[in-house]
Structure formats: structure tokens, C-alpha cells
Amino acid sequence: MKSGKLMLACSKLRWLFIGCGLFQDKESVGKNKTNSMHFYFFGHLLFNVSLMTVLQWNSTFVQNGIIPANSDILKSPIEYLKGVGPQRADLLKKELNIFTFNDLLNHFPYRHIDKTKVSLIKDIDSSTDYIQVAGSLHNIDIIGMKRGRRMVATLRDKTGTIELAWFQGLSWIQKSLQPGQQYLVFGKVSFFQGQPQIVHPEMELLTTEKKDGKSFLEPIYPTTEKLRSKALGGRQIAKLTEGLMKLISEKDIPENLPDDILKTLTLINRYKAFSQIHFPANAQEYDEAVKRLKFEELFIAQLRMARLRSQRHRFSKGVVFEKVGNLFNTFYTKYLPFELTGAQKRVIKEIRKDTATGKQMNRLLQGDVGSGKTIVALVTMLIAADNGYQSCLMAPTEVLAQQHHKSITSLLKDMPVEIGILTGSTKTAERKLIQKKLDDGSLHILIGTHAVIEKDVQFKNLGIGIVDEQHKFGVAQRAMLWEKNETAPHILVMTATPIPRTLAMTAYGDLDYSVIDEMPPGRQPITTVHRYEKDRPKVMEFIKSEMAKGRQVYIIFPLIEESDKMDYENLMKGYENVKAWFPEPKYWISMVHGRQKTDQKTSNMHRFVTGDTHIMVSTTVIEVGVDVPNASVMIIESAEKFGLSQLHQLRGRVGRGADKSYCILLTSPGIGNDARERMKIMTSTNNGFIIAEKDLDMRGPGDIEGTRQSGVLNFKLASIVQDRSLLEVARRFAEDITNTDPELSSAENLRIKSYLQAIQGKTAWSRIS
Ligand code: ADP
Ligand code: MG
């Protein structure tokens, strides 16, 4: 638990440092600065990592620390380290979650400074951030009242003076400072009333022995104002770490990777890596250490994922769909309205193979918007029914659930398959009837919202749960599916949010992965253009001409937060505006937004789906899944406010029928470079995977919803964006080892095995077996 907090603390600190611009320091030896950037970008939830296995994996990971203690000395409580003692230990625990020697060992410096490099005070200007200066200390004084009360002092070198200031721990600091003495001072320069000053600088008496001129890189550690004011600034922590390194030797940090990996990748050993990440002799040593530790992080994570998957394949118990029976065959030969694409066939085969083994299937199915995932879900449910099992299909919204129900019911109308729908608005009597049919097994397919996984919904024999557009479902909700049958049902998670493969492999490494990478034939690519506000009249004329051909139109407004008043007003203004262009009764308009009641939303949506209305004015609530083939034009208002993935998701609502489709991105003229780049990407490709890669490059993995929440992508050093190629290497090694030696029993793998056992601790992460 404490290491959970530690992770949190680390990421908070990183935020802080990024905010301070620390990572921009040119003198910092680390090429490592960008790897923390992704913390900054973690945003709203688009995507939740699925299934208990990940949850379980992650909690073990967190509980046991990122890089756990390997030996007894490292387990020692931090107060026993020379120079710490009970009081400072309390602070270290509270402020940095450093409880043991091992925690301190894993508290990595965020930068190093060349100690021999001392700047001149006259060279400080507005672009200076962190600096080290040396000079004599004068004019120590406590000034100001109440909240403005502070201690100030002047540091003077031969070129000028700079003010130093403290706001906390004044009496203690005052006692420790010696006026007139020479000090080495490090800190961040800020400007107060136009004058440079350093607040809470790190002070060190400049003794002659320090000036031996030998070049070495001094680590600077993350710390807090509070610690700084209690003489536990970055430099003092460096001293503690130095003391710690003297206490331990190679045997305390034994190697955990097989020799051949070390050799192949020319990685330094583990002990060396820890020494060098703290105290490198030069930049190269630091880089070696970082590379080694990053690889270890990625590799161990990948290995655990691969092992979970392999254990599930070998040991889990699942319901068996042994045959493909009448229902499937009849549907396939008589009622399937189109020829399946090659990709759809392949995925169905993968699912069939999985569900016939007697092992539980956990599969992620990715397919771009419009690639035809629903039909895959449908035939899978028919296979379940052929084998006497029930199935359920969960959709994230009422609208989508209704739509699935409608289209599936109509596809199966001549077949002996009983289908029900259960949502939040299902009436009690209806609900009772459904429950009865679920109990006696007469209901084969239940479609609905999350209502279908609520506790009181019981199945006779649920064989498979399919989750559509899964990012709208929480991890816990999905876990509830498992409890719906004595033998855990198979799970198929379908998503249109494209994630790059490397990322999927990290976030979902324990799941099996299928992809529909082919669009149904006959689709016309969507023509996407970027237009400015001044072009609005032309855009309106254009949609008028499309509507004259019988097409329908979406007009999307940003409403990032449904509670955002400004956005809401813009939406209403926009609606009036559209109405002015397209007056009733010639044109009818539907409007859907998050402030409406579910009924109202559903009925407005319904009017558009059935073609009663020509225009749908909406916020992003229609983002997911809705299928209106006749709607072939989409206008996205203030498109600069949307991220790439979201733009792509929205655009996926058009281009579903045989008509030529258009997406018009409307923006104000003065958009920033990033927004311009996004528009350019959107107008140049329709490929969701390419867009996902670009998105990852531009924003980091923050968009991949829920991954942060679950911590799967929270590596301490590695970044899945910058270190993608290393991640790929780690994955290959992990997979290779898991395939050739699943029990890790060979001599060369014993190290990893005992390491994994050490970090697993008491938690049985193989509980899945
Ligand atoms: P998504 O993957 O976004 O859920 P859908 O399953 O809603 O996509 O399918 C989008 C549209 O494509 C639907 O109208 C569906 O009937 C149609 N479709 C799916 N597969 C095929 C196919 N193989 N050939 C032609 N049309 C298809
Ligand atoms: Mg869909």
C-alpha cells in the first residue's frame, strides 16, 4: 500500500517538475526527461483496461513495490540509516513515502549537476531556471508580517549579488546559517519585483575539500518544500543515498535477468545500474543505467502479462462450445445479409477456436468504426446458443442497446432464437418476465446496458458476455460478468478506439487480441475537409444540396463537460443558428445532449434514425456506435477543441452507407499549431490506427482511457511512447521465455523466477488458474 502511495507521490512530483520546467535543463545529463511527460498528458477516460486479471496483476505490482527489496539490509526501516533518525524518518515517510532503505534506493534523481560547474551571478537572466552559484552570505534578516513573513539573505560573488529567501522553518535555518561564510548555493531562480532571487535554496558550506576540482555528477533528488526547510533538500538526500550505497554491495542487488538477455542487449548488471543511476561518473554511465532499468521494468511487466495469459491458456476452466450447430449454419447460409470480410471470418475463427478448448476466453477485439464488429458478436452468440448457452451483449448507452436489439432482432426474425432487452428504463413487469426467461433458459440472448450485469440479474447458464465499446464500462462492472456463471463465462471485449499495437500489448498483454483490419467492401472513403468560420455560408449551402439528395446531416458541438455553461450556451446558439438556416417545416431538426433526460434523448435520436428529422444537432453523446447509414455528412463545430481520437470516433458516424460521405471540420481562423496539425492528419487519412499512432506521438498515451487509473502504463522510468522500440524488444523476450519455459524452471531462468516470487509476496497473482 505504501508503495502505491509512493507511485502516486512520484507521479505528483513529476507533475511538479514538469510544471517547473526542470526537465528542460540543458545541463541535465539525462536524456530521460521526456519519459515523464506522459504523466502530464494522462487525461480523461477513454479506455479502461479490462478484466480482473489486469486488476489483479496491477494490484500485486503496486503492493509489492516497483522494484522490491532483495535482501534484508534493503528492508531496513529508513530511520536506521546514518543521518536519518526518527524525526527525519517521519518526514521522509510522510513527504516522499520512503519507509525503507529500498525505498530510498528507488528514489531516483531527476537530474544531475556537474558539481564543478558554478555560474556567475551576473549571468543570471530571465531565462535562467536552476542554477548553482557560490559566494559569501550576508544580511540575514527576518522581515515582513504574518503570511509575508520571511527570512532573506544576500549572496555575493565577485560579479554581483542575489537575494535568497525562506518562508518556512525560519528559526531553524537562521541558526544553521553562518554569515560571512562561503556557500555553494543551488536552486531555482525566480523574479520578485524584477529582481532575481532563489527561494528555499539548497545551501552547502564551501569547504576546501569540496573544491578538489574532480569532475563528478551530483544527483539532485525530488523533494518537497517541507523537507527542504528541514534540511532534507535534494542534496541532503543525495548524501543519504551516498551513505546507503556504501552499506550495500553486489549481493544485495542481485541480477534478475538471464545472462543471454544482458549479453544480447549489452545491458549492465543490476547492481551497477542502481549505482550508476544515482552516482554516474559521466553521462554515458547514467544512460547505461537508465537503459538497463527501463528494460527491466518493461520486461518484468511484459513477462507477468505473458505468464497470466499462458496460465489462463493452460489452466483456466471455461465453458465448451464444442460444436457449430444449426443456428449458426442456418443464419450463415440463409440470413446473413452480406458476405463477411476476410477479417471478420478470421476473427470468428479465432473465437471459435478459443471457445472450443475448455479454457476460458478473454479476448479483445479491435476494429475501426464501421468495420463490422456487431455481426461478429451476433454469430458468436449463435454458437453459444447452439451449445445450449445463453449470452449477453452490453452496450454503453440506452440508444446503442436499443439499436443493437433492433438490428439483431430483425436479422434473426425467422429463427428460433429468443432475444430480450434490459436497460435502466425497462419496466418492472417486463424485467420480471425477462428474469423468468433467463431462469428457465428460454431466453438465449440478452441485450442491454450495464443493467444486464447488475447483481439481481441471474442467468441459467451464461456462456459468453460481450462488451461493446468497452471503454464506457468500468473494470469492476466487467468483473461482475465473471460471477454470472459457475464456470466463468467467456468474455469478448469489442472496441473501436484504435490503440497502437505496442500499447495494446502493454495495456492488454494478458488478453488475447483480435483485430478487424479490413472494411466491408463498397464503402466510399469519407472526404474530410478543414474549413474556417468565414466559409460557413458555403458549408451550409453544401449540406442543403446534400439534403436535397435525401441525405441526413450531423452537426456536432463540443461539450467537453456536460456541466460547462459556456459550451452549453454555444450549443443552444448553434441550434438556433441551424434552425435559421434550415427552417421548419421544410427541415426538421433533432437535438441530443447530455442534459436531456434519457427518454428525451432516446426519442430525439429515434426520430433521426428513422429519418423523420434531417439534421441531428448533438454533442459527443452520439460518439459511440450509432449507425444511421443515410447520414452522410458531418460537420464538427470548433473542431480544434477535439482530440484526434475523438474526431476520428465522431467521423465514424458517417460513411456507413453506400453514399459518398463528408466530414467538415469547422474551426476559428486563429488555431494553434497543434490543432492545425490535427486537422491536417484528419484530412489526410481515414485509418484509425495511423491516427492512433499520431495521437500517441502528439499527446502521449493519456487518451487511452483508464490505463492510468489502473496503473498499467505507469512505469517509473520507461515511457511507452519514447521507449516503444525497447518495449517491443521486451515483449518479444518475455513471450519467448514464456513459450519455451512456462514454468521458468531452466537454469538460466531461475533468477527471474525467484525475482518474480519475491515481488509476488503473499498475493497469489496466479489465482486465475
Ligand atoms: P462497428 O464495427 O463500428 O460496430 P457495425 O457492426 O455497426 O460496425 O457495422 C457497420 C455497418 O457495416 C453496418 O451497417 C453493418 O451492417 C455493415 N456491415 C458489417 N459487415 C459487413 C460486411 N461484411 N459487408 C457489408 N456490410 C457490412
Ligand atoms: Mg459497433
* pLDDT tens profile 576-630: 999 999 998 999 999 998 888 878 888 898 899 899 999 999 988 765 657 788 9
If you search the block for the grid coordinates 441530443, which residue do you land on?
592
pLDDT interval class at 472 (50, 70, 90): very low
Label residue 67 by pLDDT band (50, 70, 90).
very low
Contact 475, 631 (CB under 8 A): no
What pTM was estimated for this model as a whole? 0.66
Ligand 1 atom with the shortest distance to the CA of 375:
6
Best of 347, 375, 381, 468 for a ligand 1 pocket test (most atoms within 8 Å of beta carbon): 375
**Is residue 508 very low, low, confident or very high in pLDDT (cuts 50, 70, 90)?**
low
Which ligand minimizes its atom distance to the CA of 517?
1
Atom of ligand 1 nearest to the CA of 374: 6
* Rounded-to-integer distance, Cα 250 and Cα 252, Å: 5
Alpha-carbon distance of 657 to 344, in angstroms, equals: 18
Which has more confidence, 67 or 431? 431
Give yes or no for residue 70 having a pLDDT over 70: no
Q: How many helices (H) and strands (E) does the chain have?
A: 28, 21
User: Probe ligand 1: pick from 332, 338, 686, max atoms within 8 Å of CB?
Assistant: 338
* Among 282, 236, 211, 200, residue whose Cα is nearest residue 30: 282
Closest to 271 measured CA to CA, from 288, 618, 281: 288
**What is the 531 CA–ligand 2 centroid distance (Å)?**
29
Residue 679 scores a pLDDT above 80:
yes
Ligand 2 centroid, distance to 369 Cα (angstroms): 7
- CB-based burial of residue 520 (10 Å sphere; 0-12 exposed, 13-18 middle, 19+ buried)? middle
The bound ligand whose nearest atom lies closest to the alpha carbon of 374 is 1
594 CA distance to ligand 2 middle (Å): 20
| Amino acid type, 635 | I
Point out the ligand nearest to the CA of residue 658: 1
Q: Give the least confident one: 36-40, 221-225, 337-341, 620-624.
A: 36-40
Considering only CA atoms, give the Rg of the chain. Answer: 31
Alpha helix positions (H), 36-178: 37-41, 51-63, 72-75, 85-96, 101-105, 170-176
The SS3 of residue 10 is helix
Alpha-carbon distance 604 to 598, whole Å? 10
Asked if pLDDT for residue 51 goes beyond 60, the answer is no
Distance CA 492, CA 494 (A): 6
Distance 469 CA to ligand 2 centre (A): 7
**Residue 55: what pLDDT?**
32
Contact indicator for 515, 366 with CB cutoff of 8 Å: yes
Instruction: Kindly state the cell numbers that stand for 496.
Output: 473501436
Is 565 or 219 the better-scoring residue by pLDDT?
219
Res. 414: pLDDT tops 90 = yes
Alpha helices by DSSP H, 412-553: 428-440, 475-482, 501-507, 536-548
- Given the C-alpha cell 455481426, which residue does it identify? 375
| Cell 472450443 found at | 356
pLDDT at 524 over 90: no
pLDDT at 706: 40
Which cell is 748 given? 538460466
The tens digit of pLDDT for each residue in 89-108 reads: 999 999 999 999 999 999 99
Nearest to 622 by CA among 658, 654, 664, 599: 654
Q: Are 319 and 389 in contact (CB under 8 A)?
A: yes
Mean pLDDT, residues 551-579? 84
Q: Contact 514/365 with Cβ under 8 angstroms?
A: yes
DSSP letter string, 706-732:
THHHHTTT--SS--TTTTHHHHHHHHH
Which residue did the predictor score with more confidence, 582 or 56?
Answer: 582
567 Cα–ligand 2 center, Å = 28
Please check the confidence at residue 265 and state whether its pLDDT lies above 70: yes
Contact 279, 105 (CB under 8 A): no
* Cα–ligand 1 centroid distance for 373 (angstroms): 7
Residues 250/271, Cβ–Cβ less than 8 Å: yes
- Per-residue pLDDT of 294-309, as tens digits, reads 999 999 988 988 888 8
C-alpha of residue 369 to centroid of ligand 1, in Å: 9
Letter for the amino acid at 328? F
Residue of 371, 408, 472 to mutate, ligand 1, most atoms within 8 A of C-beta: 371
Q: Give the nearest ligand 1 atom to 469 CA.
A: 4
**Mean per-residue pLDDT over the chain, rounded:** 82
Q: Which residues line ligand 1 (CB under 6 A)?
A: 338, 340-341, 344, 367, 369-375, 496, 520, 627, 629, 656
Q: Note the ligand closest to the C-alpha atom of 345.
A: 1
Tell me what pLDDT residue 649 has.
84
Q: What is the pLDDT of residue 694?
A: 84
C-alpha cell at 189: 531562480
3-state secondary structure 180-239: CCEEEEEEEEEEECCEEEEECCEEEECCHHHHCCCCCEEEECCCCHHHHHCCCCHHHHHH
The angle formed by the CA atoms of residues 715, 716 and 719, to the nearest 5 degrees, is 50
- The predicted structure's pLDDT at residue 64: 34
**723 CB burial (10 A radius; 0-12, 13-18, 19+):** buried
CA-proximal residue: ligand 1, atom 27 (nearest): 520
Asked if pLDDT for residue 9 goes beyond 80, the answer is no
CB distance 558 to 641 below 8 Å: yes
Element (H, E) at 125: none
When pLDDT is averaged across residues 233-240 and rounded to a whole number, the result is 87
Which residue, chain included where needed, has cell 489486469?
54
- Which residue has its alpha carbon closest to ligand 1 atom 20? 372
Name the closest-CA residue to atom 9, ligand 1.
372
| Residues 492, 460: Cα–Cα separation, whole Å | 19
Tell me, what's the pLDDT at 15? 32
- Give the pLDDT confidence score for residue 631 in this predicted structure: 92
Partner residues linked to 162 by β-bridges: 155
pLDDT classification of 498: cutoffs 50, 70, 90:
low
Q: What is the DSSP string of 374-441?
A: HHHHHHHHHHHHHTT-EEEEE-SSHHHHHHHHHHHHHHTTTSS--EEEE-TT--HHHHHHHHHHHHHT
Best mutation site among 517, 519, 627 for ligand 1 pocket (most ligand atoms within 8 Å of CB)? 627
Q: Distance between CA 256 and CA 487 in Å, rounded?
A: 37
**Which-ligand-closest: CA of 341?**
1
CA of 472 to the centre of ligand 1 (A): 21
Q: Which three cell numbers, joined as nine digits, stand for 306?
A: 505473458
CA proximity to 295, closest of 732, 632, 749: 732
Q: Of 296-305, 362-371, 416-425, 709-718, which has the strongest mean pLDDT? A: 416-425
Cell of 520: 466491408
In 3-state terms the chain splits into helix, strand, coil percentages (rounded to 5) of 45, 15, 35
CA of 338 to the centre of ligand 1 (A): 9
595 alpha carbon – ligand 2 mean position (Å): 24
Give the C-alpha distances (Å, rounded to integers) separating 618 from 91, 557, 608, 623. Answer: 52, 6, 11, 9
Least confident of 83-97, 337-351, 751-765: 751-765
pLDDT at residue number 306: 87
Ligand 1 atom closest to Cα of 339?
A: 23
DSSP secondary structure code for residue 119 in this structure:
B
> Which carries the bigger pLDDT value, residue 11 or residue 604?
604
Q: Is the pLDDT of residue 44 over 50?
A: no
Q: β-pairing, 202-205 with 182-192?
A: antiparallel
